[in-house]
Chain A
């Protein structure tokens, strides 16, 4: 995902950056060569926690486009389910990018739309 760094904060549990991207504004912990504010990077988004269907991931077919937005200090991601595999894993399409997730609960359906509110988001510099 192409992101533009808006601000950088050093937190206890990592370096947090707020960013703009084609589908909105988000925030996450950055891994890799630390950019300066204003720089653009290509990153891989990782949701390290196992999501729980009905709690921090829910099916909601009421939106049109995928998006990422900040709600207070939390990030909300609206995405399409691209693929669903066994053992509670799936891939989500957000904009032009793919995020892989693990979840618990009922089986997600391919093509469904979901809203994800993960506790933590990690951004890995892809060095592209």
Chain B
């Protein structure tokens, strides 16, 4: 794990990763600045940055949590269908936080902490629907009589969570990785399922638009399709098991795994169930994994091996095709 290139703007913990919760999420981007954001995605990025900077003294963990939702959680693809879950989670977190801090802090955070001047301006400039929940959240506290503040924290948090969830989806769809051949979502084609929820609308924003922070996207509304992802009910079609023709030397095992999974950050989310799996290392796009569990660990030295797995998801039939190759790594 490398030092956070965003320095303290991301978190005081320069080696922090996914709010120390890499089991449930992973930060594929590492550094948001590495992305070329367009339109709404750009706004979200600015907001994300603002959240990180402004809340430095009052809620780094919370900000990191939201950052992960915005950048890591959704990008992982594991949570696209979990918007409501995240909204609830965000609401609960905010609620707990509000209850544990002074009202002044709460209002400051809403007004200046979460939104740096740049971030808030960018945020307001956007016309995406996620603005409304944020404004509603802010107004709920700001306009409420003092005796009602306590009771409104939860509601405000809920609204905030709602906004974050939608914003995250926008960030995912309308951003593209630097150097990537197409829109960011194309990186998920490995699933064979990830679809632009806005149909065939063309992303018109160009790099200049990004720099000037002037959204030129056609406003998409409402979101017609929620991308479908594999889950516990997904059917599995297994292809015949294979064995790699040549064994791998133990000293080359790490490199062989890197070559198979790619150099991008890896996680341990099961490609089908989307649940953490202690015996799998999964590629960033969730289409490849290495399985090394009790069976493999307890194999005799001559039979020592791991499994190289590929997963192809078909959303139409909600079926995942699973291919598995045994790779021997004899230890003697």
Contacts and interface: CB of A to CB of B under 8 A. Distances in A.
A31 B279 CA distance: 14
Given A31-B294, A124-B293, A89 B303 contact: yes
Contacts of B305: 100
B86 interface: no
Nearest to B293: A124
B322 interface: yes
B312 to A, nearest CB: 13
Interface string B270-307: 10100001011000000000010111000110110101
Interface string A84-110: 010101010000111010100000000
A91 B303 CA distance: 10
A126 B302 contact: no
Interface in B147-178: none
A70 interface: no
Residue from A46, A97, A122, A128 whose CB has the most chain B CB atoms within 10 Å: A128
A82 B302 contact: no
A10 B277 CA distance: 26
Given A96-B238, A98-B242, A31 B295 contact: yes
Contact of B295 (A44, A87, A89, A102): A44
Contact of B326 (A46, A98, A124): A98
Main SS of chain B's interface residues?
mixed
Contacts of A97: 240-241
A119 interface: no
B271 to A, nearest CB: 10
Dominant SS at the A interface? Answer: strand
A83 B242 CA distance: 11
A97 B243 CA distance: 10
B236 A102 contact: no
A32 B277 CA distance: 12
A126 B323 CA distance: 12
Contacts of A126: 291, 293, 295, 307, 324
A2 interface: yes
Given A31-B295, A89-B302, A89-B303, A96 B241 contact: yes
B322 A83 contact: no
Contact of B243 (A44, A87, A91, A96): A91
A85 B303 CA distance: 10
B272 A124 contact: no
A87 B238 contact: no
A124 B295 contact: yes
Contacts of B294: 31-32, 124
Nearest to A100: B303
Contacts of A13: none
B332 to A, nearest CB: 8
Most chain B C-beta atoms within 10 Å of own C-beta, residue among A32, A89, A100 = A100
Nearest to A91: B243
A82 B244 CA distance: 12
Interface in B199-251: 236, 238-243, 247
A98 B303 CA distance: 12
A127 B295 CA distance: 12
B272 to A, nearest CB: 7
A46 B295 contact: yes
A97 B279 CA distance: 20
B278 to A, nearest CB: 10
Nearest to A125: B293
Given A31-B295, A100-B303, A102-B302, A127 B240 contact: no
6 contacts: A42-B236, A46-B299, A87-B302, A102-B302, A128-B272, A128-B324
Which 4 pairs from chain A and chain B are nearest by CB?
Answer: A124-B295, A96-B240, A98-B241, A44-B295
Given A89-B302, A100-B303, A102-B300, 14 more contacts: A44-B295, A82-B243, A87-B302, A91-B243, A91-B326, A96-B240, A98-B326, A100-B299, A122-B295, A124-B294, A126-B295, A126-B307, A128-B272, A128-B322
